[in-house]
Structure 1
Amino acid sequence: MKSFKKLKTALLVLFIFLIALTSYGQHLPLLKISNDSRYLVTEKDKPFFWLGGTAWELIHRLDREEIDKYLGDRANKGFTVIQTVVLAELDGLNTSNAYGKTPLLNNDPTKLNEQYFKHVDYVVEKANELGLYIALLPTWGDKFNKKWGVGPEIFNPKNAHTYGKILAKRYLNNTNLIWVLGGDRPLETEGHYQIIRAMAQGIREVDEKHLITYHPVGAKKATDFLDDRWLDLDMFQSGHSRTAKEYSYVFESKKTSRTRPVINGEARYENIPDRFWEEEAYGWLDDADVRVSAYWSIIAGAAGYTYGCNDIWQMYDISKEPVISARTDWQAALQLPGSTQMGYMKKIFEQLPWQKMEVDQSLILNDNLEDESYILCAVGTHKKFAVAYTPNGTPINANVSKIDSERINAWWFNPRSGKVKHIGNFDTNVAREFKPWASGWGSDFLLILTSQDSEVNFNEMTK
């Protein structure tokens, strides 16, 4: 009888272990470049929509309970990528993390502090558990080009190469990883180029599985500095200005000699002073800015967009010194509307073959000034659908004959609520004006036109 009980107990323990292994031992699929080199796909060629969250100080400032809260919130809202930094911007070398640890021994990039890196490991593994990829910056840019900020500059080509190899070995088997070099600093000297290329070489000598990109300074693309073979993605920082034309970065990237997926890695932050670097006050950027920059980026042909909030990137709370006039504790800022609305954006585009869109401004027949009201349009490569985004509710006089169908269905998508409204069914032999029910700043709408035989189904988004 005792033997039976022992066997029963052993089987129960094994069963629990297998459940845990199944639940937590699975890895997200590695990401790769699509066959047309324009988008990201999984190992099985499933399209991957990069919806990123900017969390630069996540590793440096938060404890594990707080990390769980942030990552859980973003996963629940439909985010797929979190961008964060190992050697963080806000005195990340000499100010300890939440557990009193700094990342390097004697600020030597070849000597990692194991206790700090266990915390990095936790972030990567917890993200995997929640279905999130980590776009990991080995260092912020002030550690090789101080220019502004804290620094200090600790990198040279030799230790950058070694540091890249060490990190690559440590995270080689973590499938939910994307490497991001740079960190909001320009490459201005030959030494800067040597450091970045040495770090990339160190990673590539060990790791050929994970994608690599470069996070540039504001108003620049990675390819403004680099066109190296290791640069898999062209990431740009369109910056924190209501005057930014995010679509223009995508257009310019597509003119480069090598086709790469394009990612808007840092755009207009929610809850940040507009053009904060200028003396004149322009007010604050809000969720409408987030939506405009996101829709312009994706419709232009970007493979992804990263949401940011001024309070969240720095994980600000009232006990800390605010950077760039941060004013809302990060846990409260999680509830600002922009992040939820980014989930809506991803959901609507995933209802369409978004990776097969081509910009086509000939869809618009009315005047279309290239200012804050600029209507951006794209048509599916098989001409079975089209989308047109109006940032402030300007009516759209549409050349509906761009759709290869005698009749079309027309829909309004409300970017604030994530809901779809059917407008009607129309012939395509005559142009038609579509007028939203509101106008002005914050009254943006997405017009969707689908062929009569389209299999697109918005039923879940009309309730």
Structure 2
Amino acid sequence: MLQISSNRRYFTKEEGSPFFWLGDTAWEMLHKLTKEETIRYLDTRAEQGFTVMQTVVLAELDGLEAPRPDGAIPLLGKDPRKPNPVYFEHVDWVLEQSAKRGLTIALLPTWGKWATPWEWTGATDREELMANVVFDEEGAFVYGAYLGDRYKEAKNLVWVLGGDVSPVNEVALANWRAMARGIREGGGRQLMTFHPFGEHRASQWLQGESWMDFNMIQSGHKAAPFPNWEMIDKDLATDPSRPTLDSEPCYENTSVGQFASSRRFNDQDVRMAAYSAVFHGACGHTYGCNDIWQMRRFGDTPVFGGIGYWFRSLALPGAGQMRHLKNLMLSRPYFERVPDQGCILPSSTSRMVDANHLSATRDGTLGGKDASYIMIYRPTPYRISVDTSCIESSRLSIWHYDPQSGYAIDLGERENTGRCDMAEGVLGPDSVLVIDDASCSYRAPGLLSD
């Protein structure tokens, strides 16, 4: 069962080793995939190095009335007090299959619109606001208690309330509080969080909630790039301190801004979102693809301009490249890692422009000289200057790490003068500059110990 690290910044496994959240938004998996399709999906994502599947019980796309392929619907009479055991037997099976593959399920009990009045549309009439809502406080508690009891022994489970909504009114907040209380009183002791509306942070509303174990942001699909690093910075500055991550960034193969006339987010866009967030202190990252979240098949009406099919899009470049971020982070001291933009000197090219935003992380104490490595993510191959005074050693080992392939180029050792100037990157379009204390004799970046 996942736990929070002692410094309240990262996840750990039960025995204390680091757990890097590398998620995928499989929102419609429970609702739309057959068992055979589910196996194919889980096998592929496990092979690609993912660790977390984010999915929903009461799904967004007609999830209350459109049956699963086996004919089951989740609720009898659309009543949260009457969960259908047949439907939940399939959820049980997915959890078991995921556990066999070392995958954690981040389970949303319901998509947000079924529990939250939808104020973002600008509607003001109560009937219109409540059109989709099937939960009240009592129903939310009963449903939560059912889930908490049913899955109280599941070790590969994390609870995620919300679902593309934010608790901006008392009705919504009361429902989510009741559901969280139900899960806890039903026996669910796994970690719990909330997935908010796009371009928002769950901590904006829920930082004071005792049931929140870690935070999520959703940077969304509005722009390329979207400065998700600013949202991570704000989360990490809140009190109490909690781990945070971008749970829904730009989706690969989705139109920018979700407008049909726009270009589509590509693998470079998803890499920048991932590395920027993690280097600014996130405890992991979630990948997403427009064709996969909706599990689009032949004949399905596309959502948000979908042009692909889930089984083909499993092999999109960005999905295969996400493992290199996880491996890079785990190849150096993990729990001691901190974001440190102070490592980037002003002479670095275009350091504050979003498309060229440089992100820095290292280990050690902020303001101290106890670092053993520095990493700088360069979304574009411009020259950079790095303050290396946080590394006390007189010798440095320099590497370029390729986020596309996970390949590291050894640039050799040099004297530590307190400053490291690097010309345009030898890799591209993006790269990571890794500067190690040479006396540590670390293996190549991204290369994990046996």
Give the TM-score normalised by the residue count of structure 1. 0.89
Does structure 1 conserve the Cα–Cα contact (< 8 Å) formed by 2:117 and 2:172?
Answer: no
Partner in structure 1 of residue 442 of structure 2:
456
* Structure-to-structure mapping, 1:216-235, within 5 angstroms: 216-226=196-206, 227-235=208-216
Indicate whether 1:114 and 2:96 are aligned: no
Aligned match of 1:34? 5
Q: Which deviates more from structure 2 when the two are superposed, residues 96-105 or residues 428-437?
A: 428-437
Which residue is 1:136 aligned to?
107
The answer to whether structure 1 residue 328 and structure 2 residue 316 are counterparts is no
- Residue equivalent to 2:187: 207
1:159 aligns with 2:159: no
Larger Rg: 1
1:251 is matched with 233
Q: Is the 8 A contact 1:376 1:389 kept in 2?
A: yes
The answer to whether structure 1 residue 371 and structure 2 residue 354 are counterparts is: yes
Per the TM alignment, residue 34 of structure 1 is displaced from its structure 2 partner at its CA by: 0.9
Q: How much does 1:461 deviate?
A: 5.0
Hey, what does 1:88 align to over in structure 2?
59
**Equivalent in 320, 330, 339 of residue 340 of structure 1:** 320
Q: Are 1:385 and 2:373 matched, yes or no?
A: yes
* CA–CA separation in structure 2 for the residues paired with 1:254 and 1:420: 30
- The corresponding residue for 2:273 is 293
Q: CA deviation at 1:379?
A: 2.1
Q: Which consecutive residues of structure 2, in runs of 5 or more, have no partner in the other structure? A: 122-128, 365-369
- Aligned-pair CA distance for 1:434: 1.7
RMSD, aligned CA: 1.9
Matches within 5 A, 1:42-441: 42-145=13-116, 147=118, 152-207=132-187, 209-226=189-206, 227-240=208-221, 241-276=223-258, 281-365=261-345, 366-367=347-348, 368-381=351-364, 382-429=370-417, 431-437=419-425
* Cα drift, residue 371 of structure 1: 1.5
CA shift, 1:188, in A, is 2.5
1:432 corresponds to which letter in structure 2? C
| Structure 1 CA distance for aligned equivalents of residues 446 and 228 of structure 2 | 30
What's the offset of the Cα at 1:460? Answer: 7.9
Deviating more after overlay: 408-417 vs 207-216: 207-216
Which region of structure 1 is more displaced relative to structure 2, 64-73 or 200-209?
200-209
Instruction: Supply the distance in 2 between the matched residues of 1:303 and 1:78 (Cα, whole angstroms).
Output: 16
Cα deviations by residue, 1:203-256 (Å, 9 ceiling, x for unpaired): 111235200000000011111111201100111101112131111111101121
Contact kept in structure 2, 1:363 and 1:399, CA below 8 Å: yes
1:370-421 deviation per Cα after TM superposition (whole angstroms, max 9, x unaligned): 3210111122113110000000112222223332210100000000111000
1:296 positional shift: 0.6
| 8 A contact 2:401–2:445 mirrored in 1 | no
On the 8 A contact 2:228/2:277 being kept in 1, the answer is yes
For the 8 Å contact 1:142–1:150, the answer to whether it is kept is no
User: How far, CA to CA, are the matches of 1:291 and 1:460 in structure 2?
Assistant: 15
Offset, 1:455: 3.8
**Whole-angstrom CA distance in 2 between matches of 1:85 and 1:242:** 27
Q: Measure the CA separation in 1 of the matches of 2:7 and 2:131.
A: 40
Secondary structure at the residue paired with 1:266? coil
1:80/1:265 CA distance change after superposition, 3 Å? same
**Percentage of identical aligned residues:** 37
Change in 2 beyond 3 A, CA 1:37/1:173 = same
* CA distance in structure 2 between the aligned counterparts of 1:62 and 1:48, rounded to whole angstroms: 28
Q: Is the 8 A contact 1:139 1:183 kept in 2?
A: yes
SS at match of 1:369: coil
> Which string of whole-angstrom CA distances, capped at 9 and with x for unpartnered residues, describes residues 182-216 of structure 1?
01012122111100000000011123520000000
Deviates more, 1:238-247 or 1:126-135: 238-247
The one-letter code matched in structure 2 to 1:266 is E
Deviation at 1:354, TM superposition (A): 3.3
Displacement of 1:114 after TM fit?
1.4
Q: Which amino acid aligns with 2:383?
A: P
Please state how far the C-alpha of 1:55 moved relative to its aligned partner. Answer: 0.1
Aligned residues: 429
Q: Structure 1 unaligned runs (5+)?
A: 1-29
Shift of residue 438, structure 1, vs aligned partner: 5.5
- 1:397–1:432 Cα contact (<8 Å) kept: yes
SS in structure 2 of the partner of residue 354 of structure 1: coil
CA separation in 1, counterparts of 2:213 and 2:425? 42
The alpha carbon displacement at 1:130 in A equals 0.6
Within a 5 Å distance, the mapping from 1:2-21 to structure 2 comes to none
Whether the 8 Å CA contact 1:90–1:150 is kept in 2: the answer is: no
